[in-house]
Amino acid sequence: MTQKKSETDPDWQDRLPELAYRVTREHATERPFSHDDFPKTPGTFACLCCGAPLFDQADKFDSGTGWPSFTRPAAPDALGERTDRRLLMTRTEVHCASCEAHLGHVFPDGPAPTGLRYCINGVALKFKPEDTADGDT
């Protein structure tokens, strides 16, 4: 089971860059194609807020949407889900199970093997190369 981590809203504001705060704590979305490309080397995509491992590089794919996309989380309990009815549509929001940071949404239009597309805000992630995936970077 994932250990819950929490901080106060002012703590998050002090720790995070403005856009990362708006995305992860206020459920905003970064503009498509606005986030720097991540390295294509083996590694793990972790939560920017708490460092929990969320996605593996091997599960990343180019969906053409402008946001990093993945076929599955790094572990079954890495993410939480909520129904999102904003923007006059129903979607499934995904968040970090550890600190509840808003990450993006999951859609049923992804490639094999899962058929899922986890469409994630790049600003909510930090990349840890394989040789440092278990340590701090």
Helix/strand/coil for 131: helix
Helix/strand/coil for 17: coil
Of 50, 96, 99, 119, the active-site residue reads: 119
Task: Please indicate whether residue 119 is annotated as part of the active site.
Answer: yes
Q: Which residues are catalytic?
A: 119
